[in-house]
Structure 1
Amino acid sequence: MKIDPKNGLANLLFGMKTTDVVAQLGTPNRHFQDEDGNTIYLYDSHKLRLTFYADEDFRLGYAITSSPDALLLGHTIVGAAITELLEVLPFSSWETEDFDSVTNYFNESNWLTLQVEYGQVIRVEIGALIDEVSDVFLWRFKG
């Protein structure tokens, strides 16, 4: 599963609606509404969680994966040592935040989070970008 910073992952582009995603991946194993009214789709075989934002007409705006097949710029991510990844990825700015045994490495310019436990990446989160001037999402899907 290719993670495409700023755009989406696999064949999924930020801005797709639930019907577009179902056409690509099939029916989710589970779906529910979160506390903000967003729709969440879970795909077990892809180890994938997708968030469709309620206040954005239920467009795909955020994805989380713990799939060992996740690739970021040609590098396997889940299970990789964070020290090695930080050396090979071209992103220079990372904010870190610790929660118990987990550290999040966040790159704001790509809205990308690498969640790390015991020195290894355990999951990847990626979100749609927001235009800094107009404060609106930059949807990549034009359908």
Structure 2
Amino acid sequence: MKINPKIGIDQLVFGMKQKDVVALYGNPDKQYKDDDNNVIYLYNAQKMRLTFYDDEDLRFGYVISSNVDLELFSEKIIGKSGTDIEQLLAGKGIKSMEKENFDTVDNYFNESNWMIFQIEYDQVIRFELGAVFNDKDEFDWKFKA
């Protein structure tokens, strides 16, 4: 599953509607609403959690995945160390990483690409990717229906 920073993941493009996602992956294994009334789709086989933002006309804007086949810049990331991730990103000119610690998990966050690498026991266990904002501080939706 290819990660496309600022665009989406695999065949998913930020800005898609639920019907567009269902056309690609079928109905989700589980669906619910979070505390902000966003719609969440869970796909077990792909190990993906997709968020459709309520206040953005239910457009797809965020993905969390622990799929072992996640690839960023043609390299699998699940299981890589934090140092490996920093080197991978630096090799592509992405040097700004904020690190936060939450008990046993470290989050490596890059705001310009809205990527979070969750690291536990010095291995990436989960990846998050969000839609980015444009110069007007609005979502920069990449999907054009």
- The two structures have a TM-score, normalised by structure 1, of 0.97
1:110 maps onto 2:113 in alignment: yes
Aligned to 2:99: 96
Aligned to 2:58: 58
Work out the CA distance in 2 between the residues paired with 1:57 and 1:63. 17
Aligned to 1:74: 74
Q: Please report how far the alpha carbon of residue 134 of structure 1 lies from its aligned counterpart in structure 2 after TM superposition.
A: 1.0
Aligned to 1:7: 7
Counterpart residue identity of residue 54, structure 1? D
Aligned to 1:136: 138
User: What is the DSSP-based 3-state SS (H/G/I as helix, E as strand, rest coil) of the residue aligned with 2:112?
Assistant: helix
Q: Please report how far the alpha carbon of residue 13 of structure 1 lies from its aligned counterpart in structure 2 after TM superposition.
A: 0.1
Query: What is the RMSD computed on CA atoms of the aligned residues?
Result: 0.7
Structure 2: where are the runs of 5+ without partners? none
Question: Aligned pairs, how many?
Answer: 142
- What do residues 54-106 of structure 1 show as CA deviations (whole Å, max 9, x unaligned)? 00000000000000000011111111112112112221000011000000000
1:124 maps onto 2:127 in alignment: yes
Work out the CA distance in 2 between the residues paired with 1:80 and 1:68. 11
User: What is the DSSP-based 3-state SS (H/G/I as helix, E as strand, rest coil) of the residue aligned with 1:109?
Assistant: coil
Provide runs of 4+ in structure 1 moved above 6 Å.
none
